[in-house]
Amino acid sequence: MALQRQGGARLTGDSSRKAAALTARHVAQLCEELQPLVAGWRIKDVQGLPPRDVLFVLEPPGEPGDGPPVLRLRLAADPNAPRIHLQQGRVHKHTGPVGPFFQRLTDELVGATLLRIGPVRGDRMALVEFKTLEGKRSLMAELFGRRANLVLLGAGDRVLAMAAPPPARAGETPRLREGQSWQPPGAGRPPTDPGPSIEEVFSRPTEDPPGKVQDRAPLSWRVEVALGGDADQARGEDARRRLKSRLKRRIGRARGLLRGLETKAEAAAGAERVMQDGELLKASLGTFARGDASVTLQDWYAEGAPERTIELDPRLGPKENVERIFTRYHKLVRARENVDEELARATARLEELEALRERAEDPDEDADALDRDAVARGLLDPQQVADQRKRRAPEPRKPYLRFIGSRGSEILVGRSARDNDTLSIRIARGSDTWLHTADVPGSHVVLRTPRGQEPDGEEVLDAAHLAIHYSPVRGTDRAPVHVATAKHVHKPKGAKPGLVNLSGGRILEVRVQQERLEALLRGVQRG
């Protein structure tokens, strides 16, 4: 490894300001301090702290209970405070699924022995090497601020998994790709001045760490307090932003509900007027007919009996319009019985939400605790966390489309000229039935046929329909199709993609049945 690069530290004498970032010199100091402490220890547990932190619980070699208590090694690719240190303080445990990367770390490294921890290329990178039953494994901690990452490596530095896959950019090949060898970031030369040490940048904490490791890992403790504090602060700020955003949405919905209930209450208050309109219409059935949009009547319920115009549904007859009015009246009466209680509940809920929002603005309040309390009280719904373990990686592209014949057999159709070669020469078995339109180009079609059996006639016809459909003669009423056993299909040396020779077979004249073709196409699977 030839990369030489140094990151610049940000010095500060004010503990209220953000602590300095780790430099290459700091990483080297930490590795030198940690190596004699953890080398030879076994990985008892791997605790994933998404999105980019991991905690290794280490137990000493030998029988359990023979040596000192467990140690916890933290590798944090947190963009707010990338770091490496012993974890001696409390940890905010992750709840919910951890995702495939941390599950892979657990599967690969629990029970492994930690062999070595050291800096890489004089840069802000640390490599932790393990001995497992499957061979050597390594975890590369790239501690580059926003680009910080954790990368699990196998034999030959092959990338097995990474915490943060690099974003795909058009026309660029990502530096880190699973299955490929790990590549370092751009090369550079180490600076003449490596910068100040950990002791010069990070103040000694005012409190000793818990446990019995403080005398052996003083540099680690300085880094944990300074950068760990930064990370906790950033995590708290993120939690507060999420809480305030969730409250804003919920308050908006609560206000909308309250407005709707107020409108409902106002309408319910006019129930008597609706009943009176119904009575007026009922007494005047002969004065309006289907198709009328309104009717004007004397209002005997008002002083002086003034004229009153009542809206009608022109699609309904007179009796149906009267029934519609009384139906609305009974609905309003029922609403009037409950609307006051609903208004009281909605008002109280809005007041609770607004009080919670005020608390969320207070930096002394624990946003996570507020969120949990709001969920417990029913003010907020639990946050939905996608279970990445259930996410299936997209299957690799297959060189064929897959159909099911009328008797249940697989029919495979090549997707391109090169795919035709792959399907006919590499995938098709010798006993399979091979089809292709005669005298015109098109897709190769393979009907899976068990050894020693003749293909079903109906399924041969199915496959022939697909051969015609995936050729230039698509849409024709009739077409000839080559039918052969796949073992009689040969690829001439140097022939262009899709060109094959046949040493047997027959021509099947096919009259296209549109219903048969449509039934096949409905079940296509693209792979």
**Is-contact 1 153, C-beta < 8 A?**
no
Question: Is 397 a residue whose pLDDT tops 80?
Answer: no
Q: Give mean pLDDT, residues 365-370.
A: 88
pLDDT (0 to 100) of residue 338:
80
Greatest CA separation found in the chain?
106
Q: What is the mean pLDDT of the chain?
A: 86
Write b or e for each residue in 453-483: b if 16 or more Cβ atoms lie within 10 A of its Cβ, otherwise e.
Answer: eebbeebbbbbbbbbbbbbebeeeeebbbbb
pLDDT (0 to 100) of residue 7:
32
pLDDT-derived band at 297, boundaries 50, 70, 90: very high
Out of 16-25, 106-115, 176-185, 311-320, pick the least confident: 16-25
Structure tokens at 460: 């041969």
pLDDT-derived band at 190, boundaries 50, 70, 90: low
DSSP 251-291: HHHHHHHHHHHHHHHHHHHTHHHHHHHHHHHHTTGGG--TT
Helices (H) and strands (E) in the chain, counts: 10, 19
pLDDT (0 to 100) of residue 339:
84
pLDDT (0 to 100) of residue 221:
92
CA 353 to chain centre: 29
Q: Give mean pLDDT, residues 469-475.
A: 86
- The top-scoring range by mean pLDDT among 97-101, 188-192, 276-280 is 276-280
Out of 9-18, 54-63, 87-96, 188-197, pick the least confident: 9-18
Question: Is 4 a residue whose pLDDT tops 60?
Answer: no
Question: Is 18 a residue whose pLDDT tops 90?
Answer: no
Question: Is 173 a residue whose pLDDT tops 70?
Answer: yes
Question: Is 61 a residue whose pLDDT tops 90?
Answer: no
pLDDT (0 to 100) of residue 412:
96
Question: Is 435 a residue whose pLDDT tops 90?
Answer: yes
Beta strands in 339-473 (DSSP E): 400-404, 410-414, 433-437, 445-447
How many CA atoms lie less than 13 Å away from 273 in the CB half-sphere? 9
Torsion sign over Cα 59, 62, 65, 68: negative
Structure tokens at 136: 């050597």
pLDDT-derived band at 389, boundaries 50, 70, 90: very low
pLDDT single digits (tens) 201-230: 999 988 888 766 556 789 999 999 999 887
- Of 404 and 7, which is predicted with more confidence? 404
Structure tokens at 406: 């009328």
pLDDT (0 to 100) of residue 6:
30
Domains in the chain: ranges and CATH:
24-203 (2.30.310.10), 244-289+318-376 (no CATH), 400-522 (no CATH)
Classified as helix, coil or strand, 104 is: helix
pLDDT (0 to 100) of residue 69:
75
Q: Residue type at 136?
A: K
**Is-contact 96 238, C-beta < 8 A?**
no
Torsion sign over Cα 517, 520, 523, 525: negative
- Of 5 and 253, which is predicted with more confidence? 253
What is the C-alpha end-to-end distance of the chain, expressed in Å?
41
Q: Give mean pLDDT, residues 383-409.
A: 72
pLDDT-derived band at 232, boundaries 50, 70, 90: confident
- Of 474 and 163, which is predicted with more confidence? 163
Residue 241 CB contacts under 8 Å (≥ 6 apart), including other chains: none
pLDDT (0 to 100) of residue 524:
66
CA distance 326 to 310: 13
pLDDT (0 to 100) of residue 64:
54
Question: Is 23 a residue whose pLDDT tops 50?
Answer: yes
